[in-house]
């Protein structure tokens, strides 16, 4: 039996190669219960590892044997992943309080989310490559250390600049730790029932953590302080750092190259692009820094493309875009996430600032969406053989577009049950249907050598697409707000006029999100070819998909 695992746990390169044999009692050996292979392989007697390249040799490691405590190792890794997933949603509900405390502008507040998603998404593939080359447990511990320290710094922040820097560093830690978690789970459990059960628990943590973060963010913000949405990571991170070396086994180091130039030019280019959009929201499209940011983005992203064409081991093999159907799935995903991610940002503002919801009530208000998403995403794999992947994608995009169009009609008088509850359900229904077949389209027909890079690219698009989409929608919001403020409605007092201006900007952002979703639907219809998709190959939704879709 031979397989290869990518940094995010999917089949492909960049993982453990040459696994052969069944697990033996207490150790690894070549003929019975052993692991062997030419690169990164294991062979040896009880407790020792050796290999021709990238292997280890030695005696029994002191302390608890990770192979005898897989349940404890799983609990450790899932605790860390839950902390990272919570951070993507728990902060969302606290945004209005963060804005009031640190005096963020309405447009600048988006950097609290984008500071994290840009660095995490931009460096995600590099983090996976680092785990291959340097050891996954080492990268896991390094990432959690960085994430924990940055959480502490963010909670102590007294200025907006310090908080944004901490959020960016958090993203670096997440990019190093997250790819290692799933790979460590897969390598810690033998193929079959044990691994299936472990992965099922993992997906439950991912989905449940996304929903829990919205409610937990409300509870912490309302009963303690927004600072505790960051402080809560510290004790969890410290506990993981203490016990992980005792119970989580290290993986062998594999030969490879770091594509630092590719990772840095991609991250810097997208960051400059997002900055340009957010700058335009505050200072207009003709502002000198806005234009300079767009120019820098064009140069950096062009350099990224050139780098990837010349790199011996690029983090993003451009040949993945040669297939029209696969490229269409990437574009459709980017547009879909771009529309959805910003919606949660603005919906949080609307619930608390316009409707007057408390943080706790605002977190609970998102539950219809997350429950619908969870339920429908579990049914989607069973529907694919009957309906086909492409029809399922189209069926999911219709309620997604309808939800955005419905939200674009919000006014200061909109009630939750009449104007928010319905769109929430439609978002959950649409996202639950579309993500599984869309992931199938992204991975269908990918050569084994590129499947790890393809699955990593899917995850990266989730985060980078969300950051880019939020930047675009913030620019749309800022432009609409300036227009509404310049044309006040007659007969409104100052407070009512202020609510009208904010609501008009939010409704316009929702309307543009609907346009992005329509574009995603058109890409699916025109570019994705049904003949390229095999329903049986449908994978489970990637972790970041459900996290982003849940807010």
Backbone angles phi, psi at 5, to 5 degrees: -120, 135
Domain presence at residue 120: no
Token digits of residue 543: 């972790």
| Alpha-carbon gap, residue 478 to 281, rounded angstroms | 4
Give me the pLDDT at residue 8, please: 39
Helix (H, G, I), strand (E, B) or coil at 5: strand
Contact of 475 with 280, CB cutoff 8 Å = yes
Domain presence at residue 97: no
Domain presence at residue 11: no
CATH number, residue 428: 1.20.1250.20
Token digits of residue 61: 């490691």
Write the DSSP string, 37-99.
-SSS----STT----SSS----SPPSSS-GGG-HHHHHHHHHHHHHHHHHHHHHHHHHHHHHH
Helix (H, G, I), strand (E, B) or coil at 11: strand
Question: Would you tell me the crossing angle of helices 421-443 and 324-349 to the nearest 10 degrees?
Answer: 160
Structural domains counted in the chain:
1
Regions of the chain with pLDDT less than 70: 1-70, 182-211, 251, 254, 256, 448-453, 455, 530-551
Give me the pLDDT at residue 191, please: 59
Q: Which residue has the tokens 């996430």?
A: 337
Burial of 431 (0-12, 13-18, 19+ CB in 10 A): buried
Domain presence at residue 452: yes
Backbone angles phi, psi at 518, to 5 degrees: -65, -40
Domain presence at residue 386: yes
Cβ-Cβ contacts under 8 Å for 26 (sequence gap 6 or more): 46, 47, 65, 67, 68
Give me the pLDDT at residue 404, please: 93
Q: Which residues partner with 400 through β-bridges? A: none
Contact of 375 with 425, CB cutoff 8 Å = no
Give me the pLDDT at residue 200, please: 59
| Alpha-carbon gap, residue 279 to 512, rounded angstroms | 18
Give me the pLDDT at residue 381, please: 77
Give me the pLDDT at residue 75, please: 79
Give the residue numbers spanning the domain of 501. 323-551
Give me the pLDDT at residue 211, please: 65
Domain presence at residue 443: yes
Give me the pLDDT at residue 156, please: 94
Give me the pLDDT at residue 5, please: 37
Model confidence, pTM: 0.73
Domain presence at residue 524: yes
Write the DSSP string, 378-408.
HHHHHHHHHH-HHHHHHHHHHHHHHHHHHHT
Give me the pLDDT at residue 150, please: 95
Domain presence at residue 295: no
CA distances from 355 to 358, 415, 503 (A): 9, 8, 10
Give me the pLDDT at residue 512, please: 94
């Amino acid at each position: 039996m031979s397989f290869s695992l990518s940094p995010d746990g999917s089949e492909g390169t960049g993982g453990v190669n040459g696994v052969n044999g069944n697990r033996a009692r207490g150790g690894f050996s070549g003929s019975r219960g052993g692991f062997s292979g030419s690169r990164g392989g294991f062979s040896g007697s009880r407790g020792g590892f050796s290999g021709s390249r990238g292997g280890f040799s030695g005696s029994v490691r002191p302390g608890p044997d990770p192979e005898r405590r897989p349940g404890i190792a799983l609990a450790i890794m899932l605790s860390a992943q839950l902390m990272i997933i919570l951070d993507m949603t728990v902060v969302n509900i606290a945004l209005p309080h963060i804005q009031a405390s640190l005096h963020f502008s309405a447009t600048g507040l988006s950097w609290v989310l984008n500071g994290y998603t840009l660095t995490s998404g931009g460096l995600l593939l590099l983090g996976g490559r680092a785990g291959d080359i340097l050891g996954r447990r080492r990268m896991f511990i390094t990432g959690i250390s960085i994430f924990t320290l940055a959480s502490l710094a963010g909670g102590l922040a007294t200025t907006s600049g310090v908080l944004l820097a901490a959020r960016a560093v958090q993203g670096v830690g997440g990019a190093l730790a997250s790819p290692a978690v799933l790979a460590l789970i897969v390598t810690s459990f033998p193929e079959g029932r044990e691994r299936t059960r472990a992965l099922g628990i993992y997906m439950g943590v991912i989905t449940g953590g996304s929903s829990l973060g919205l409610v937990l963010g409300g509870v912490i913000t309302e009963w303690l302080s927004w600072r505790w949405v960051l402080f809560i990571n510290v004790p969890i991170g410290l506990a993981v750092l203490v016990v992980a070396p005792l119970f989580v086994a290290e993986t062998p180091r594999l030969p490879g190259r770091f594509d630092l130039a590719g990772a840095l030019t991609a991250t810097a280019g997208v960051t400059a692009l997002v900055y340009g959009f957010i700058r335009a929201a505050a200072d207009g499209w003709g502002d000198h820094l806005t234009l300079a940011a767009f120019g820098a983005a064009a140069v950096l992203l062009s350099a990224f493309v050139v780098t990837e064409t010349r790199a011996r081991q690029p983090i993003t093999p451009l040949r993945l875009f040669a297939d029209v159907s696969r490229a269409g799935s990437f574009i459709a995903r980017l547009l879909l996430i771009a529309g959805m991610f910003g919606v949660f940002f603005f919906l949080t503002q609307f619930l608390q600032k316009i409707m007057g919801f408390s943080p706790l009530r605002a977190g609970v208000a998102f539950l219809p969406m997350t429950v619908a998403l969870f339920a429908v995403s579990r049914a989607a794999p069973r529907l694919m053989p009957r309906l086909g992947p492409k029809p399922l994608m189209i069926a999911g995009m219709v309620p997604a577009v309808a939800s955005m169009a419905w939200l674009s009609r919000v006014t200061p008088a909109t009630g939750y049950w009449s104007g928010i509850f319905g769109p929430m359900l439609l978002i959950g229904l649409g996202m639950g249907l579309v993500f599984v077949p869309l992931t199938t389209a992204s991975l269908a027909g990918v050569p084994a050598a590129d499947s790890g890079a393809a699955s990593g690219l899917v995850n990266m698009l989730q985060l980078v697409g969300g950051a880019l989409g939020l930047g675009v929608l913030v620019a749309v919001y800022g432009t609409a707000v300036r227009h509404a403020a310049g044309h006040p409605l007659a007969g409104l007092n100052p407070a009512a006029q202020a609510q009208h201006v904010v609501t008009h900007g939010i409704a316009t952002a929702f309307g543009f999100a609907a346009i992005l979703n329509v574009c995603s639907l058109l890409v699916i219809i025109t570019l994705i070819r049904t003949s390229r998709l095999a329903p049986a190959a449908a994978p489970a939704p990637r972790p970041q998909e459900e996290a982003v879709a849940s807010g």
